[in-house]
Structure 1
């Protein structure tokens, strides 16, 4: 193991180091912590200290104890300098007030606005449209002549177009939306930022960047508010049959939701369903390429696709962590977490927990027991989990029967990010029908 001891700067700094997620060396730290110090007091350089929670059972227990572990104070691991900038800029600890940033009762009141819309019985009506979008992207893959970067030419665009469809947004705005989702919530990797700038180059209103990440993020946030402020006003004046209208027409305690809450709702709808689904689709395909016996098994028996999708979600775990703040002294794993202490729930570690998953570092499309925790647990469990599963199932149901051969055509690369991360490049060669 590369980490000599739990009091070393090396271990604590690795848990927040975006590069450790890009080369997957973070699993060395996770594995050792699960075995020897699963509730670990962590003091990384430049960050406020917190408890690292690495075991599946502890992650689930804390997630369900939403009265004793709240979201509002601290949502994700961020350097002290960045936290102070947000407070100075907004007067708050967050740029938005999304569902993941809030606690009950306001969290549940806002969540109820779209809860029914995201249920399987309502989403079923979208299956033909999602299947058509999946087919269009597999058709594009086939038209690329047997070689492409699956991330940047297929996986990145597929969930974005689903989101644009369910929100009722024009296709002409896709590039602008891509920049917002990639840069506001994923600015740690310069390659990801550069890619979005290339895509949006020359677009009216697109930001070109100043070289100062904080200034650039704030400019994008302002653009986000302007764009969705117009969407909000339009749907309140002229309701349509789309998710943007459901949000715009939402009420809390009999009153229309406020501007900040509405814009934040649009923010979480756009961002939470984009990178996460894209990363799962590309990470899942990479796992199949690297495990040809599993790919053959899945192609031979398409009934395994739902379970394979669950394994792809466990394997990729696009959201690597969320933070909570303790409201009263609580014992977890034999350690006393004090009131006011922050805790980081490391989902990728929980999804490799040897106590829960047999051979956790093996990718299995027919894994019989898979209580993956990538969507979270408790009242903050991902609102769009049924939609995400539907999208990934639709993509692989279309792709697998048409895929005769596939292999890597270069080195796949993971994004440099410790919050939401996944593949940023995956060159492949293939033969399709």
Structure 2
């Protein structure tokens, strides 16, 4: 048994802890969600020690995650080289040691908001936050709609489409949108796709790079670091180009951001923004799109209702985000004593915020294990909560809404025709493949 510190709490079976903490546990979604449910019902703030990992509290309840997220001064996100600092991504001890060995003792591998706390977090977030506001994004509505129409025309045909919806369609539309708005040339999009899969698929043997030995304990961290360096090499040229020749795109805004003294921000800040946009900016959206199509295949009545009443599409978007929850976790670390769910928290205690579990919490969602576009309100936290709430959430919703508006009216039916697989990761990911028979009108 994996035991808790408090003797009056239900002990955590090893298989439950391993299912949630280990990347390979996320290949079996049925068992994973059973583990989440067991934890919510029996020990929703379970402190576990899985072999090869530091001790961590598994935060499975919606309310607890919100309580932690709204208090970044008490529950820090920032990684660094200071004593007691931590990795805001749940990785194993070997990976953290490797990261520190190549990064001057620091776990802060990226100068991006994920690794920062206010006020530094606020300063860096504000570089491009205005660009991601709904009012600003309205001007891109027609561009995104044109890209959606082009994606459908290029990737699908009238009649039967026997395809892998993930690999043949869903991966490319969000990538093309974000790269077009970002300012990355279309010919470089395959490179961005490959690096994103390296970045988020670091723990998946199927996504192993040739320059990383996949069987070593630190392999995921090695691949993560190698992908970052490749991104840096690409984006250094982009920063120099946009500073020399500004254009009307997001890359120009980020590359030319200046500090209060009038000097450019360090290039590493721009790299961090670029990597966040080039990875999470499309991977999470494609995962949600694929998950939505799978859900509609199993609920043709809901597909028909959305087709008959397009005003339901925003609700479909929200339910798809709750259902997919492509960001599985981030971690936080306590900076002081605190009481949470009756537990005495100590400085240095670490917490894995399990967003997938929170979005299945029966205290918040009625019948949470059912896909339901009529869910009102839908208080999902697929984008996180508090200061670290995803800055790109409005763009993601806009992309999904527009794609559904363009694609769903053309669908006669969709059938899942083969085995679906998930990316092996405990961080960010979803369906790896989804064989379907997609019949268009």
> Retained in 2: the 8 A contact 1:53–1:346?
yes
- Which of 362, 365, 379 aligns to 1:354? It is 362
Cα distance in 2, alignment partners of residues 366 and 390 from structure 1: 19
> Retained in 1: the 8 A contact 2:288–2:321?
yes
Match of 2:24 in 1: 19
Give deviations 1:43-92, integer Å, cap 9, x for gaps.
11100001111110011111001110111132111000000000001122
Match of 1:373 in 2: 381
Cα distance in 2, alignment partners of residues 216 and 33 from structure 1: 31
> Retained in 1: the 8 A contact 2:99–2:225?
no
Match of 1:88 in 2: 101
- Which of 390, 397, 405 aligns to 1:397? It is 405
> Retained in 2: the 8 A contact 1:141–1:148?
no
Alpha-carbon distance change, 422 to 53 in structure 1, aligned in 2, over 3 angstroms: same
Cα distance in 2, alignment partners of residues 59 and 363 from structure 1: 22
1:151-162 pair list within 5 angstroms? 151-162=166-177
Q: Displacement, 1:216?
A: 4.4
Deviates more, 1:137-146 or 1:281-290: 137-146
Give deviations 1:88-137, integer Å, cap 9, x for gaps.
01122032121111111111001111111000111001111111111122
- Which of 36, 55, 59 aligns to 1:49? It is 55
Cα distance in 1, alignment partners of residues 418 and 350 from structure 2: 40
Q: Displacement, 1:182?
A: 0.9
- RMSD of equivalent CA atoms: 1.7
1:136 aligns with 2:150: yes
When normalised by structure 2's length, the TM-score is 0.91
Give deviations 1:257-296, integer Å, cap 9, x for gaps.
1021111111111111121001000001101111122112
Cα distance in 1, alignment partners of residues 225 and 330 from structure 2: 22
Cα distance in 2, alignment partners of residues 11 and 330 from structure 1: 26
- Which of 8, 16, 20 aligns to 2:13? It is 8
> Retained in 1: the 8 A contact 2:201–2:424?
no
1:63 aligns with 2:65: no
Cα distance in 1, alignment partners of residues 386 and 273 from structure 2: 20
Cα distance in 1, alignment partners of residues 12 and 436 from structure 2: 42
Match of 2:197 in 1: 182
When normalised by structure 1's length, the TM-score is 0.93
Give deviations 1:218-259, integer Å, cap 9, x for gaps.
433222111100000111111111000110111233331102
Q: Displacement, 1:298?
A: 1.4
Alpha-carbon distance change, 427 to 50 in structure 1, aligned in 2, over 3 angstroms: same
- Which of 159, 168, 172 aligns to 2:183? It is 168
The secondary structure found in structure 2 opposite 1:256 is coil
Q: Displacement, 1:209?
A: 3.4
- Which of 237, 243, 266 aligns to 1:230? It is 237
Unpaired segments of 5 or more residues in structure 1? 195-206
- Which of 65, 76, 85 aligns to 2:89? It is 76
> Retained in 1: the 8 A contact 2:18–2:25?
no
Give deviations 1:137-156, integer Å, cap 9, x for gaps.
22233238521111001111
